[in-house]
Amino acid sequence: MLIQILNGVVYGALLYLLAVGLVLIFGLREVVNFAHGALFMVGAYLGFSVAAAGYWWGALVVSVVAMAAIGCLLDAAVFRTLRKQDPMVTVLVTFGLLLILETLVTAIWGKAYLRYPTPTILSGTVTIAGSPFPLYRLFVIAVSIAVAISLSAWLRFTRVGLYVRAASTDPRVASIQGINVDRLSLIVVGLGTALAGLSGVVAGPLLTLSPTMGSYILIDSFIVVVIGGLGSFTGAFVAALLIGQIHNFGAIYLPWAATILPFLLMVAILIWRPTGLAGSRA
Amino acid sequence: MSTLAQGTIVVRPRRIGATTATLLAGAVALAVGFALPLLLPSKIAMSLFAQALFDALLATSVGFLFLQNGRISFGQAAFSGLGGYAFGILVARGLVGSEIALLIALLLPTLVAFLLGLVIARVSGVAHAMLTLAVGQAFYEVAFRWRELAKGDDGMSFDLPRRIFGLSSRGLQDPAFMVVLAWCLLVVVLVGLALFARSRIGMVTAAIRDNEERARFLGYSTTLPRALVYALAAFIAAIAGILQASYNGYIAPQMFHWTVSGYALIMAILGGAKFIIGPAVGAVVLFYVKELAGQVAEYWPAIVGGALVLVTLTMPQGIIGILRLLWLRRPPQ
């Protein structure tokens, strides 16, 4: 039982890493990045190329740094250029990017499913409540918790974090107060995309790599963000854990309905609270 | 451009004869439809055009939702797929007569869209886009996993009933017949939508799209008309799905996939989502470009994605918008 709950937490942890990136970007730019899943996938493949050469930890670094750079580029080239347009214009452009990235990855790495190596140091198992549990899965949970804690600390206790919170509440008033929202957004979108790269590498050994892996997890993380309430970090955290549990327990006890349980939950929550669990912004 | 999601179409005062003109144009188009088998050189050309018309119907459904509701859907394939699946499964299992099967296949997606619309219509903008993507994919997952329903991932072939409405159903798999049928249905749908836009309820939905709060202030219920537009859009999508399923004699989860919805949306934008006829034109253009791009088909998604980025940024009015601009600017004779 405990093992099952932990398995759910592992998937929830992955979803959180993606969803929090979406939330960060939504906070500053008020758009949802439809290419976020594709960036997760690109991060996973970049990492794969390095990890396949035997440098798993190098893969982590390379992927995070490269994705941060891509995120900054994305913000400067797309989000900043289109900031005065209707948010749907940006959404459509990111949707176009998603198609381009998927094709690009297919062209480079092919369509075949690839297996990711697990770092040797984390390849063992530990015994939890009398059953063996892969150490690597604990590592995924730990990464996610570390990100959650450092992100909250950053947002709450640093000056830049204060700026981010201010700009997320109201970008216009924040810039009147002298905050350079464009520079801030560069950092935040870079960070959000770096988290997508991080989760791509971390998810690698758990999932099989394929060019469509991004779209599947993107839809789950959309559900997380919608349930949690767009723009809410706490909401995303709670919703990610919830969906992780539903995903896992559904697969065991209600296999025929497992894949649509998250959707049903989402519709139910939207009927009850149209702006999501923690939602204040529509 | 900045108001892409809130339509900027001005509802013009009713011109005398506008309805007549629409009906007349429709009648001419129908006549052209019956001549199609003579105009197209080969069975292959007819088959291709028929398939382009299926796309056109689905794109029209997406475009209508945007035009009358201001909502961008990333999940319209849910309803075309549902129509195709309902028809295919009912026919394959022989549960009901073929006419009843057709009726159910048309009404089920409509009803589902209406009920979903009551929930989804309250969500706007970006969140709406995410929601429709997720809901559409839920249908895909069910069709994919539920093997007892229609063989899951493998898809299911089915034989058409021999007669439907007293007519031989063989025509449904004959390109020459199908191209006429699909064209005529598309024309009827487009004329119907043009009349809808001018009707009272059409005006109300346009008012709600432009300013929901003001419409509510004027005493209109806003959720119900929105849900109605969802239902109508799904009805059109269902026609596309049923035609496609019966033409191929095959249904598969791919019919529900988000890429189908996404491409339909791109077709609508490419053709000009602010015009009733735009999405259909975009669909036909994109379909033939894909046919021509045969050798580079591997890179097709990237080409479409690039086209989407380009069109959204540089010509948001789409093909019809550009043609209209050229027409208005034509030199005096």
Gyration radius of chain B's alpha carbons? 20
Measure CB to CB from residue A88 to each of B123, B125, B301 and give the nearest one.
Answer: B125
Measure CB to CB from residue A259 to each of B141, B258, B301 and give the nearest one.
Answer: B141
> Domain span at residue A23?
16-211
- A30–B72 CB contact, under 8 Å: no
Tell me how crowded residue A155 is: count the other CB atoms within 10 A of its CB: 18
Spell out which residues of chain B touch residue A107, defining contact as CB-CB under 8 Å. Answer: 298-299
pLDDT digits over A74-128, tens only?
988 888 888 887 887 888 888 899 889 988 888 888 887 887 777 777 777 777 7
pLDDT, residue A281, reads 46
**Most B CBs within 10 Å, among A33, A95, A246, to test the B interface:** A95
Question: Based on the structure, what is the number of domains in chain B?
Answer: 1
SS (H, E, C) A11-33: HHHHHHHHHHHHHHHHHHHCCCC
Does residue A186 surpass a pLDDT of 80? yes
**Average pLDDT of the segment spanning A240-261:** 83
| Residue B10 domain-assigned (yes or no) | no
Judged by a CB distance cut-off of 8 A, whether residue B141 touches chain A is yes
How far does B263 lie from chain A, in Å, by closest CA?
Answer: 10
| Residue A88 domain-assigned (yes or no) | yes
E strand or H helix that includes residue A127: strand A125-128
pLDDT, residue A70, reads 93
pLDDT, residue B10, reads 56
pLDDT digits over B134-183, tens only?
888 888 888 888 877 777 778 888 877 777 776 777 777 788 888 888 99
| Residue A123 domain-assigned (yes or no) | yes
Judged by a CB distance cut-off of 8 A, whether residue B94 touches chain A is no
Half-sphere exposure of A244 (CA within 13 A, CB side): 23
Tell me how crowded residue A66 is: count the other CB atoms within 10 A of its CB: 18
**Average pLDDT of the segment spanning A268-273:** 79
| Residue A279 domain-assigned (yes or no) | no
Question: Based on the structure, what is the number of domains in chain A?
Answer: 1
Give, for all 333 residues of chain B, the pLDDT tens digit. Answer: 444 445 455 555 555 578 888 888 888 888 888 888 888 888 888 888 999 999 999 999 999 998 888 888 888 999 999 999 999 988 888 778 888 888 999 999 999 999 988 888 877 777 888 888 888 888 888 888 887 777 777 888 887 777 777 677 777 778 888 888 899 999 999 999 999 988 888 888 888 888 888 888 888 888 888 899 999 999 999 999 999 999 988 898 889 988 899 889 988 988 888 889 999 999 999 888 888 877 777 788 888 888 888 888 888 888 888 888 888 877 655
What mean pLDDT is reported for chain A?
Answer: 85
> Domain span at residue B220?
24-328
Torsions phi, psi of B156, nearest 5?
-135, 130
Spell out which residues of chain B touch residue A86, defining contact as CB-CB under 8 Å. Answer: 1-6
pLDDT, residue B240, reads 95
| Residue A227 domain-assigned (yes or no) | no
Hey, which residues 84-123 in chain A have their CB within 8 Å of chain B?
A: 84-89, 91-93, 95-100, 102-104, 106-107
pLDDT, residue B186, reads 94
Hey, which residues 24-63 in chain B have their CB within 8 Å of chain A?
A: none
